[in-house]
Amino acid sequence: MTAPSTPFRPFTRLLRITILGREFEVPEDNPVLRCFQYLAPEEVSYGSFCWNEECQNCRVTFDLGDERPTREALSCKLMVQESMRIKAVTPEIRYCLRTLQLKKDE
């Protein structure tokens, strides 16, 4: 018998991150888009994402804390880090995370 398949890379703990001002716990060692999928499994699974750096629908603006530079990245390739703060997301991500009741972009 094989283990059930999961879209997530193996993880042993959850990291605390902030998405548009709200705190969430998401699996370490995973790209940020997978972390979004962890929080909203169905919505992100059926979202319009290529998962391969082509569509640009997963772009986020983020920083790693106060005094750290704000950057843009593709969340399908960006690995999550402790204390990451997602400050802006695309309309597609916002739509997929609508059940999380996020605020507007910071």
Contacts with ligand FES by CB under 6 A lie at: 49-51, 53-58, 74, 76
* Cβ-contact 30, 11 below 8 angstroms: yes
Nearer to ligand FES, 48 or 65 (CB): 48
Cβ-count burial of 37 within 10 angstroms (0-12 exposed, 13-18 middle, 19+ buried)? buried
Which residue in the shown chain puts its C-beta closest to ligand FES?
Answer: 76
Tally helices (H) and strands (E) across the chain: 3, 5
Could you tell me the smallest distance in angstroms from the CB atom of residue 77 to ligand FES? 7
Q: Tell me whether strands 14-19 and 85-89 are parallel, antiparallel or unpaired.
A: parallel
In whole angstroms, how close is the CB of 47 to ligand FES at the nearest point?
9
Rounded CA gap, 13 and 67, in Å? Answer: 26
CB 58, min distance to ligand FES, A: 3
Q: Measured from the CB atom, is 27 or 47 closer to ligand FES? A: 47
Least gap, CB of 76 to ligand FES (angstroms):
3
